[in-house]
Amino acid sequence: MANLKEVKERINSVVSTQQITKAMKMVSAAKLRRAQDKIVQMRPYSQKLTNILNNVSAASEGAADIIYAEKREVKKVLLIPVTSDKGLCGAFNTNIIKATNAAIKDQFSAYDVTILPLGKKSYEYFKKSKYPVISDYYQVFQDLNFENVRLAAEYAMGSFVAGDYDQVYLVFNEFKNVATQIVRTEQFLPMAKEETTEVKTSEVDYILEPSRSYIIEELVPTSLKIQLYKAVLESNASEHGARMTAMDKATENAGELLKELRLMYNRTRQAAITNEILEIVAGAEALG
């Protein structure tokens, strides 16, 4: 049985850890609120922009082909896994890495795969792999804003147009709620044409200046950049939700461990007292 000093040290250690996990949970809760507000505001804008683009494209006859929708024989694929910069968020980062590896094995095993990681955790993992890694944009979460994400999107878009890659896929966590994050693997390029049902005339009745083709050429790059920015915001909110949940669970586990350690401390203390009493009684009897 452990002595009182060892048990006391373990109790103090667990108490310190519990205080840290409580503080991290509170910090994540505050960050989650801000991140959740951003993604809630971004979703309607992204959806509306996509709907306008689809409606304008559907209503255009003889419009120039969209270069970002060009389909060609697939030989080279760019994967963009979005993770966090830090750990202590449960299986958040592990799920993205697993999903990326599964996509490489199941979908892209016959192609040349390149990784463009967003987030330090994915960069640290894939830089040790056999796949080429684009290391210019993984620090996007150090200062998360549209301009930094735009640079990564422009690289992917420019490389696709230049023929460096034939397909580009995003792998990220979609934020559902604090306890639930859904891993998504979505095609970024070439743009997938959404199948729409009946389109009302009022939805496509636009007056376009200077021309329909020009508007499409301007809308498409903006829509793609917004799509990547939305995925990054989804991942950011998911990260804080996952960390908040993980720290809450860690705090609960620390509480359970403290109960066991305090019970052990009391038992050890009682055993020590009993031994002292027995020694005293034995000594008294010897003197008698």
What residues are annotated to the active site? Answer: 89
Q: Looking up tokens 């809308």, which residue turns up?
A: 219
CA–CA distances in Å: residue 251 to residues 15, 92, 103, 137, 241 = 10, 18, 35, 34, 15
Assigned token pair, 38: 């951003």
Q: Which residues pair with 175 in a beta bridge?
A: 181
Give the number of other Cβ atoms within 10 Å of residue 201's Cβ: 7
Distance CA 131, CA 109 (A): 12
Kindly report the three-state secondary structure assignment for every residue of 123-162: HHHHCCCCCCECCCCHHHHHHCCHHHHHHHHHHHHHHHHH
Q: Which residues pair with 182 in a beta bridge?
A: 174
Assigned token pair, 94: 């592990």
Segment holding 281, helix H or strand E: helix 212-287
Strand ranges (E), the chain: 76-81, 112-115, 167-177, 180-189
Bridge-based pairing of strands 180-189 and 167-177 is antiparallel
Assigned token pair, 205: 């009745």
Q: What is the DSSP letter of 144?
A: -
> Which residue, 222, 223, 227, 131, is CA-closest to 170?
227
Bridge-based pairing of strands 76-81 and 112-115 is parallel
